[in-house]
Amino acid sequence: MAKGFQTLPGFRDFYPDDCAARNYVFEKWRAVAQRYGFVEYEAPVLEPTDLYKRKSGDEIVHQLFCFTDKGKRDVSMRPELTPSLARMAAARQRDFKKPLKWFSIGQFFRYEKQQKGRGREFYQFNCDILGESSPAVDAELIALSIDLMRDFGFTADDFKIRLSDRNAWTDFATRSGVPDDQLTAFLQVIDKLEREAPEKTAAKLEPLGVSLEAIREFIANGDTASEVITQIRQDLAARGMGDFVEVDLSIVRGLAYYTGAVFEVFDIGKGMRAVAGGGRYDSLVNLIGGVDMPAAGFAMGDMVITDLIRESETPNERLANSIVGSQSIDIFVIVADAEKRAESLQVVQDLRTAGYRTSYAYTDAKVGKQFQSAEQLGAKIAIVVGTEFPTVTIKQLDSREEKTCAISELMEEL
Amino acid sequence: MAKGFQTLPGFRDFYPDDCAARNYVFEKWRAVAQRYGFVEYEAPVLEPTDLYKRKSGDEIVHQLFCFTDKGKRDVSMRPELTPSLARMAAARQRDFKKPLKWFSIGQFFRYEKQQKGRGREFYQFNCDILGESSPAVDAELIALSIDLMRDFGFTADDFKIRLSDRNAWTDFATRSGVPDDQLTAFLQVIDKLEREAPEKTAAKLEPLGVSLEAIREFIANGDTASEVITQIRQDLAARGMGDFVEVDLSIVRGLAYYTGAVFEVFDIGKGMRAVAGGGRYDSLVNLIGGVDMPAAGFAMGDMVITDLIRESETPNERLANSIVGSQSIDIFVIVADAEKRAESLQVVQDLRTAGYRTSYAYTDAKVGKQFQSAEQLGAKIAIVVGTEFPTVTIKQLDSREEKTCAISELMEEL
């Protein structure tokens, strides 16, 4: 195609089937969040680049779609939502009763190497509770993520919540004599624990005065590693969700950002992918907006979860049904006599006003061809308007049953 | 706020109320399009800048958020959807039965001077039919825009469809002896007719060999100016929508782009604003994708329609009810005895599983304060879990009626 334009690498065209799949995920996100009493918000897709630097440091720029706008502002297409949320919550904190229970569904952009489950553009569900520091909030967010997975059709055989507590490690480090200024270095070692050779880890730990054995023992006894972990587990057990949770202290997540409990929704199938993740970040609202406000939240992207749904039987069946359902029409009106086009249009209009998804042929065509169109569009019913109008024929397209009735009785018949 | 970040000029924060209003508009857009048998799609928010230049010429760059990405590509945040649609439809034209009836709801960006009803970022509903050149398609799109306005609560007293036909003007120009190479200049004069002084218009027309009187007469007889206009009006009259349409040949719209019927949804209240607009553009798919495909469509932005809704009684009442409804919870579970928190959590979980929007207090609080929270969140029902559990009290918050029942009977009671 000589003249053809291409979609940018890492960006997606959502043709109707893909868009319906996207909407299915969005609808589940929205429905479960609302069941948990969350309200929806949205922030700008473009923000000052400094907003992201403030949270993540200058290196973040390397993975941003950032530029200077026509007004000489350094701006970025957002890579994440939390800095905007912190800005918004701080700016109007007096206008809302605490805790704020807010969720959002939006698009994000990162200039990254493409790989499976990761594009340069993706949608993300963000769910946060601000203004309350109780572990009950962490448990509520985890429960929401579990119910979300269950609504998609996943079971305890498909995923786990891996729960950890950053403060458990800070306390451990302090008890073990790790100097305060080495804390970040220490957490970096923990973060890499699963991916690095034991000898290398041990070598890094030595100057910090901690043994690999001590760390392994601490991890092995994770269930009781902190009061916060205990409370979260009790809370989730009360909801009948205890089986979904596994304490795994090797989870550290986002080094500079989290301040307490952290968790991941983890696919325990062959993929072993993190589907969602989050935790407590009590310092960010102050860092961004100069207002003290405890906060916790999590995010789920659309790409990994959609892959997982496609690969799993029940979840994929639900998705497939939803795609078909959202794109099918209810009724196709067949213009059997070209002279009756005006009458057919009135029938179409009445059906649409009554709420039916209705289509018809824009140009004259053989009745057989119109029936074909009706079936291709997934119509359940065809209504034939012909010479005998105001009497019409109603035909059920699955059972092939048909009956005639006066147009005035049509709505009652349906 | 010394540390505070600001939202970029022309961009919007959607706090929960604003987001609920946005979603209300989205839902109407989606519902009416689906009733008309349209399916949803979406294109990337970022596209090669050349895509927009191809359609609109190099000057478009002045109003684009455009930049060079880290891979040295000239890219733009999309100012409109149609070029992407043309690209997508051309690329996979063989995969879809014609006509394609596609709609989209997405965000767009233009670096423009800010004014009421116009931001640097806005949402837009795009609705297009591709692969069919019959005026029945133009009529279908106009009917959809009328039903959309009616669903918002507007009546024939609030808005009009202003219908025109670009080809009527081309034919008129040819008949009047306007040279072919002066056609664009001629259309530009027509486009400015309503805003320019008659003397100035007459002076511009003279070298083209057309009199202002001839043009006025042609406009006055617009109803019969072209066969396409006649067919569209007949089609809409058959649907009972004739009263909404007014032929107004002074509408030209987008000089280089449209190739046939064009229309605007026009607010006839004090604002006199164009709420939506569109028309036939049979050359674009070829220009962008090298494939011949007739097309027609229209777009409606979120800002003008939301302003109009807010300013009009019935539409605003519908919006307000929707905002309250979408943010209210159904049930608040009151933990009347801190010892029964675990039991309360189980009740919360059961209610949510049953589909109720349910909240509760994350920390222990006086019962009166919990009732207050319940009312602030718009709950219809409070369920009190106290020492007498497994017996609970169900209280209707509007009527203040209450009754007690065993927890096992709770779902039946609701």
| Candidates B13, B59, B241, B375, partner chain A, best to mutate (most A CBs within 10 A) | B13
Element (H, E) at A381: strand A381-385
Contact B286, B298 (CB under 8 A): no
Contact A16 B70 (CB under 8 A): no
**CB-CB contact of A28 with A148 (8 Å):** yes
Rounded to whole angstroms, the Cα distance separating B228 from A127 reads: 51
Strands B358-360 and B331-335: parallel
CB-nearest to B107 from A12, A45, A357 is: A45
With bands split at pLDDT 50, 70 and 90, how would you rate the model's confidence at B113? confident
Count CB atoms within 10 A of the CB of residue B403: 10
B205 min Cα distance to partner chain A (Å): 38
Q: Residue B116 — pLDDT band, cuts 50, 70, 90?
A: confident
Cα separation, B279 vs A298, in Å, equals 44
A55-84 b/e (C-beta count within 10 Å ≥ 16 → b): bbeeebbebbbbbebeeeeebbbbbbbbbb
ipTM given for this complex:
0.96
Which pLDDT tens digit goes with each residue over B195-223?
Answer: 889 999 999 999 998 999 999 999 999 99
Higher pLDDT residue, B152 or B182? Answer: B152
For chain A, the domains span 16-321, 329-413
Give, rounded to a whole angstrom, the gap between the first and last alpha carbons of chain A.
48
Residues from chain A that touch B356, judged by Cβ atoms under 8 A, are 35
Hey, of A6, A70, A127, A134, which one would you mutate to test binding to chain B, going by the most B CBs within 10 A of its CB? A70
Which tokens in the block code for residue A62? Answer: 């390397």
Res A1: pLDDT: 41
C-beta atoms of A238 and B342 within 8 A:
yes
- Is the whole-model pTM more than 0.90? yes
Residues of B in contact with A1 (CB under 8 A): 90-91, 289-290
DSSP for A52-103, written as a single string: HHHHH-GGGGGGSEEEE-TTS-EEEE-S-SHHHHHHHHHHTGGGSPSSEEEE
A329-413: CATH topology: Rossmann fold (3.40.50)
The amino acid sitting at A140 is E
For residue B322, give how far its alpha carbon lies from the nearest alpha carbon of chain A (Å): 13
Two structure tokens written together for A151: 């609504």
CATH fold for domain A16-321: BirA Bifunctional Protein; domain 2 (3.30.930)
Contact A4 B235 (CB under 8 A): no
Which one of A39, A101, A134 would you mutate to disrupt binding with B, by most B Cβ within 10 Å of its Cβ? A39
Cα separations in angstroms, A386 against A26, A150, A334, B297, B331: 42, 50, 8, 30, 53
A–B interface: beta-carbon pairs under 8 A: 254
State how far the Cα of B385 lies from the Cα of A274, in Å rounded to an integer: 37
DSSP A312: S
Q: What mean pLDDT is predicted for residues B160-176?
A: 93
For residue B337, the number of C-alpha atoms closer than 13 Å in the C-beta half-sphere is 12
In SS3 terms, chain B reads as CCCCCCCCCCCCCECHHHHHHHHHHHHHHHHHHHHCCCEECECCCEEEHHHHHHHHCHHHHHHCEEEECCCCCEEEECCCCHHHHHHHHHHCHHHCCCCEEEEEEEEEECCCCCECCECCEEEEEEEEEECCCCHHHHHHHHHHHHHHHHHHCCCCCCEEEEEEEHHHHHHHHHHCCCCHHHHHHHHHHHHHCCCCCHHHHHHHHHHHCCCHHHHHHHHHCHHHCCHHHHHHHHHHHHCCCHHHEEECCCCCCCCCCCCCEEEEEEECCCCCCEEEEEEECCCHHHHHHCCCCCEEEEEEEHHHHHHHHHHCHHHHHHHHHHHHHHHCCCEEEEECCHHHHHHHHHHHHHHHHCCCCEEECCCCCCHHHHHHHHHHCCCCEEEEECCCCCEEEEEECCCCCEEEEEHHHHHHHC
pLDDT of residue B255: 63
A355 → closest Cβ in B35, B84, B88: B35
Residues 6+ apart with CB under 8 A from A215: A190, A193, A205
The pLDDT of residue A184 is 86
The alpha carbon of A223 is separated from its chain's Cα centroid by a whole number of angstroms, namely 29
Q: How confident is the model at residue B251 (pLDDT cuts 50, 70, 90)?
A: confident
Which residue from B23, B349, B363 is facing A40, i.e. has the nearest CB?
B23
- Give exposure, A3-26, as e/b (b: 16+ Cβ within 10 Å): eebebbebbbbbbbbebbbbbbbe
Q: Are strands A100-109 and A121-130 parallel, antiparallel or unpaired?
A: antiparallel
Residues 6+ apart with CB under 8 A from B174: B180
Joined together, the tokens standing for residue A176 give 């073990």
Task: pLDDT band for B229, please (50, 70, 90 cuts).
Answer: very high
pLDDT per residue rounded down to tens, chain A (414 residues): 445 799 999 999 999 999 999 999 999 999 999 999 999 999 999 999 999 999 999 989 999 999 999 999 999 999 999 999 999 999 999 999 999 999 999 999 999 887 777 789 999 999 999 999 999 999 999 999 999 999 999 999 999 999 999 999 999 999 999 998 998 889 889 888 888 899 999 999 999 989 999 999 999 999 999 999 999 999 999 999 999 999 999 888 766 789 999 999 999 987 778 999 999 999 999 999 999 999 999 999 999 999 999 999 999 999 999 999 999 999 999 999 999 999 999 999 999 999 999 999 999 999 999 999 999 999 999 999 999 999 999 999 999 999 999 999 988 878
List CB contacts of B184: < 8 A, sequence separation 6 or more.
Answer: B255, B256
- A352 contacts B46? CB cut-off 8 A: no
Average pLDDT on B77-102 reads 96
Model pLDDT, residue B2: 42
Same fold for the pair B16-321 and B329-413: no
Minimum distance, in Å, between the CA of residue A386 and any CA atom of chain B? 16
CA distance B300 to chain A (A): 20
